[in-house]
A and B are shown apart, each in its own frame.
Chain A
Amino acid sequence: MSTQPTLPAPRNWRTAGLLVPGLLLFSVVPASADRLAQHFKVEAHPVVTVHNPNGLVTVRAWTKSEVMVVSNRATDHVVVDAEQTGNRIDVLTRLVSETAAPEDLRADIEISVPEDAELQIHDDSGGVNVSNVLGDMNVETIAAGVDLEDAAGYLTVKTVGGAFQCVRCAGRIEVSSISGNFRFIDVRSYYVRAQTSTGNILYNGEFLPNGTYRLKNYSGVIEVRFSPSDSFDLSATSLKGKVNNQAKLDPPSHHRFLPRFGNALFGSFNSGRASVELNSFNGTINILKRD
């Protein structure tokens, strides 16, 4: 199934003539830095796993039934292995030198996958960018930020300090962090669950009928933007902080126990078809009209 690794085609002399002086001028580029491209034929719903401790991981969907892994490593202190087992491709960056400086361990990886691919990505620092992939994905990072665009499926993201942004995502989204900020922009998801400790959360997307949206933090700001046509049941509680609301809410249609502690707000906007729960310990919750 797999094809042999292919090195990029040699550049022509004219290009080389332009590049050589450039490389001499910008000598900060490590002499041993290199680029490697590997191709793997896959069937429907392939699984791609990436374990890259330091560097940028970029994943894009394309129309080929093939996975292409292009790695750029800073130095030869690290090796990027890509292997195929059945319909799964495993990409692993590993250290081969004990004496390397932290900046020598960086490897940037670009991966092209079929749009139905399932992704599992671990990246401690650097960043993770995924676009147009519709399969399920699980991303875990420490300090690396995670940017998803036009993703769907069951998306689970966990960072320690890395920020998370999701633009035009659909499907089911579960994201957690300790200090990362979250931004949900133009999201069309029926289930969003987001929890961060000190991070801010911005939700500026649709509330789909029967959808569930649960946003929670300890401190920081939770901001939700709504449009006049949205329809949701709202529950917003900040135990020690404020709740600011611009939505004209009807009293809840069903009986519920009002909390005896904190600042809380309950009610229905339009017919209350989606469920929106916003919770903060001592942060501020803003429910604002969309511009």
Chain B
Amino acid sequence: MSTIGCNEFLNSLGDWMEGERPSAALAHVRDCVDCRALAGGLEAIQRTAPALALDDPAPSPRVWSAIRAQLEQEGLIRTGSRGWAQALGSWLDEIFVAVPRPALAGAYLAVLVAVAIAFSSPGGRRVNEARWIDRMETATQPLSAQLASAEQDAVSSLRVSDPSVTASLHQNLAIVDNDIALCEKSVREEPENEVARDYLYDAYQQKADLLAQMTDRGDDGP
């Protein structure tokens, strides 16, 4: 059983990402679905980033600053109010300035929305359902808009000669959209259901990954 809480874990997130894994933090991650999802998402980016950096030219780091600023403006993330948010933000900035790759924008968004979904509500599950739904919609609506915009770009730029590949990409995009719709419905019905939120987060991440793959094919051709 964990001896530290979410806030304490989040305050030490920077150390965690540097590889420091004290037993109390390990126990907390084992017990807490939200923190496990967050740490898992960040570790996935950390693992993937170096390989991706080898292949792609670097667009301006301002892309990341712009995304971050927009998310702050839309209330998805906050600055200054909590130590862990700043630590996480600077850690992400470090990663994404080092690996400024458009395909990772989706992953960046997915991680940030996970943070928003999981931790935007101080007091956690004790808050009432209406407040949960309100916060959930505040958190997910801008992300849905971002993903819709990314989807438009990815679909219009897709250049794959093999029709079976194009068909597969479209078919699987529809599957992920359906998963997102089901999870959103489930979360609306049971706002405190942390498992449904976990699945919703995964579905958003899957969509971001898929759009990144489609964008890659638009850039590279067949």
Task: Please say whether chains A and B are actual partners in one complex.
Answer: yes
Which residues from chain A contact B199 at a C-beta distance below 8 Å? 218, 239, 281
Number of A-B contacts (CB under 8 A): 85
CB–CB B163/A95 < 8 A = no
Q: Are A160's CB and B162's CB within 8 A? A: no
Within 8 A of A (CB), among B170-207: 171-172, 175-176, 179, 182-183, 186, 190, 193, 195-196, 199, 202-203, 206
B114 smallest CB distance to A (angstroms): 16
Q: Are A281 and B182 in contact, with the CB atoms below 8 A?
A: yes
B169 within 8 A of partner (CB)? yes
With A53-B222, A178-B176, A197-B175 as known contacts, state yes or no: A239 contacts B195, CB within 8 Å. Answer: yes
Asked if A179 and B171 sit within 8 Å, CB to CB, the answer is yes
What mask results when residues 29 to 61 of chain B are scored 1 for a CB within 8 Å of chain A, else 0? 001000000000000000000000000000000
Residues of A near B190 (CB, < 8 A) are: 261
Q: How far apart sit A197 and B171, CA to CA, in the bound complex (Å)? A: 12
Please give the number of chain A residues whose Cβ is less than 8 angstroms from any Cβ of chain B in the complex.
31
Interface assignment of B165: CB less than 8 Å from any CB of chain A: yes
Asked whether A124 lies within 8 Å of B195 as measured between CB atoms, the reply is no
Shortest 6 CB-CB contacts between residues of A and residues of B? A143-B168, A178-B172, A161-B168, A261-B193, A124-B165, A102-B162
Instruction: Name which residue of chain B comes closest to A259, CB basis.
Output: B195
A255 adjacent to chain B (CB < 8 Å):
yes
Given contact pairs A179-B172, A281-B182, A105 touches B222 in the complex (Cβ within 8 A): yes
User: CB of B210 within 8 A of chain A?
Assistant: yes
B-side contacts of A261, CB under 8 Å: 190, 193, 195-196
Query: Which B residues have a C-beta under 8 Å from some C-beta of A?
Result: 1, 31, 160-165, 168-169, 171-172, 175-176, 179, 182-183, 186, 190, 193, 195-196, 199, 202-203, 206, 210, 213, 221-222
Q: Are A95 and B165 in contact (CB under 8 A)?
A: no
Minimum distance in angstroms from B161 CB to a CB of chain A: 6
The residue that B179 contacts in the complex, of A53, A95, A218, A260, with Cβ under 8 A, is: A218
**Which of B164, B168, B196 meets A239, CB within 8 Å?**
B196
Which residues of chain B are within 8 angstroms of A254 by Cβ–Cβ distance?
A: 1
State in angstroms the CA–CA spacing of A178 and B161 once bound together.
22
A125, B172: Cβ atoms under 8 Å? no
**Does A257 have its Cβ within 8 Å of any Cβ on chain B?**
yes
Most interface-central of A197, A240, A257 (chain B CB within 10 A): A197
Q: Which of B31, B161, B172, B196 contacts A160 (CB 8 A)?
A: B172
Residues of B within 8 A of A267 (CB): none
Mark out the residues of chain A between 174 and 189 whose CB falls within 8 Å of any chain B CB in the assembled complex.
178-179
Residues of A181-202 at the interface with B, using a CB-CB cut-off of 8 Å, are 195, 197-198
In the complex, chain B residues whose CB is within 8 Å of the CB of A143: 164-165, 168
Residue of B whose beta carbon sits closest to that of A105: B161
* Selected A-B contacts with CB under 8 Å, 17 pairs: A54-B162, A54-B165, A100-B161, A102-B163, A124-B162, A125-B165, A143-B165, A143-B168, A178-B210, A179-B171, A179-B175, A239-B186, A240-B186, A257-B31, A281-B183, A281-B186, A281-B199
**Contact at A198–B175, with CB atoms within 8 Å?**
yes
B204 CB, nearest partner CB in chain A, Å? 13
For residue B160, which residue of chain A has the nearest CB? Answer: A124
> Would you list which residues of chain A between 244 and 276 have a CB under 8 Å from chain B?
254-255, 257, 259-262
Q: State whether A161 and B172 are in contact (beta carbons under 8 Å apart), knowing that A95-B221, A142-B213, A281-B199 are contacts in the complex.
A: yes
Kindly report which residue of chain B lies nearest to residue A237, judged by CB atoms: B195
**CA separation between A173 and B144, bound complex, in Å?**
32
